[in-house]
Amino acid sequence: MPAQSSGALYAALDLGTNSCRMLIARPEGAKFRIVDAFAKSVRLGSDLERTGSLSRPSAERTIRALQVCATKLRKLDVRHMRLVATEACRRARNGASFLSQVEKRTGLTLELIPPDEEARLAVISCAPLVTENSDHVLVFDIGGGSTELVWIDITHVPPSERAAAVMRLRMERDANAVAGAKLIDFISVPLGVATLHERFHDVEDESARFALMSWYFEEQLSKFRPYEDLDMLDGVNGFQMIGTSGTVTTVAAAHLGLKRYDRRKVDGITLTEAQIDTVIARMIAQGAEGRRNDPSIGRDRAELIMSGASILQTLLRIWPTDKLGVADRGLREGMLYSMMEATGAFHPEVPHDGT
């Protein structure tokens, strides 16, 4: 029986360096409806930059969160699921043993995905935001332990089919002739909000620390083809940049002055570079205590928002655009889209996230 008609539930879990997040959803036509969700800041990668290993307290916090997820999955009898772990478990010396402990204590088998698959899922999640007049798209995902960038050329795709072509993107540079979306380049920079913060946490001056983080992140882009060959950008028209991460959505919420976060107001909006610069300048001026007391930032993000903002501002400074599309979506949505398409639950020609 097709998944759509059976009312089957799908679950996607993303265990990152900073957070554990899960969505459980049911396909409805050309969209999906969220049935249950879980998100917790577990700080799995806390101190990983210094020690090279996952600490026992971090592992325990994370396993407790995963036990909650396991209970939800059993209670709802979810049959279609994909559960993934990313940069912290890839990098840690004890990452494999931690995942074994997770399976033993929660019954969940987490898949350790490589950076290119992490990037592909982020791109898929953002596909519904690709506009018909976009010839080139840069999708980036600022995570806790890494930042993925994917540059896609959709010049030869009919405008009405561009979002669908991006959703079907494969991460081999010569494998997209049929779909029409051409992968120009991809990079996974082993720096995210948590790892970049840890690297420069001992610099006391706010402005100096921000500048150092920005400079250091830009250095890591040297092997990314669109950065390495900036002349190639001269003829680029219809360029669209889409950012998906807590950093991007927090900056958007701060710009809107939200006292309480509202995904409906944030996801899909466009911010100008000037608007983003204004928000970041205000955050720097607030200082650590001011950011903690700012309801549009939130205490959970206050400590790490500036490292993420340094990455965001660096990317906007480099590429030929003064606008950013904001996506409140990521690996979980990408996994749900992929699973539902694979089982015939919906058709990507009319992509939508269902919220």
pLDDT digits (tens, 9 = 90+) for 47-81: 888 899 999 999 999 999 999 999 999 999 999 99
**Quick one: pLDDT at residue 354?**
43
> In this predicted structure, what is the pLDDT of residue 301?
86
174-232 pLDDT, tens digit per residue, is 554 545 788 999 999 999 999 999 999 999 899 999 999 999 999 999 899 888 776 66
> Rounded to the nearest 5 degrees, what angle is found at the Cα of 82, between the Cα atoms of 81 and 87?
155
pLDDT at residue 234 is higher than 90: no
78-82, 317-321, 347-351: range with lowest mean pLDDT: 347-351
| Cβ contact 120:175 at 8 Å | no
- Mean pLDDT throughout 291-310? 91
Please tell me the predicted confidence (pLDDT) of residue 331.
Answer: 92
- What is the percent of the chain where pLDDT is above 90? 69
d(CA 137, CA 200): 31
Q: What was the pLDDT predicted at 10?
A: 97
pLDDT of residue 3: 43
What is the strand order of the sheet 239-244 is part of?
A: 182-189, 147-153, 136-142, 239-244, 323-327, 270-272
Question: Which residues, other chains included, contact 163 with Cβ-Cβ below 8 Å and sequence gap of 6+?
Answer: 127, 128, 129, 130, 348, 351
Instruction: Show the tokens assigned to 290.
Output: 């001011």
Give residue 338's pLDDT: 87
Asked whether 166 and 137 are in contact (CB, 8 A), the reply is yes
**pLDDT given for residue 232 in this prediction:** 62
In the prediction, which pLDDT does 238 show? 86
Which 8-state DSSP code applies to residue 201? T
Whole-prediction pTM = 0.85
Pairing verdict, β 19-28 and 31-41: antiparallel
Looking at the predicted structure, is the pLDDT value of residue 30 above 60? yes
CB 144 within 8 A of CB 125: no
pLDDT at 176: 47
Position 307 pLDDT exceeds 80? yes
Q: What is the mean pLDDT of the chain?
A: 89
pLDDT in tens, 122-166: 999 999 899 999 999 999 999 988 999 999 999 889 999 998 888
Tokens of 211: 């500048």
Q: Average of pLDDT values for 328-349?
A: 81
Q: Which H or E run includes 73? A: helix 56-75
pLDDT at site 286: 93
Is the pLDDT reported for residue 120 higher than 80?
Answer: yes
Alpha-carbon 250 to chain mean position? 13
pLDDT at 298: 82
Mean pLDDT of 92-118: 96
According to the model, what pLDDT value does residue 68 have?
98
Would you state the pLDDT for residue 225?
Answer: 86
Examine the pLDDT at 355 and tell me if it is beyond 90. no
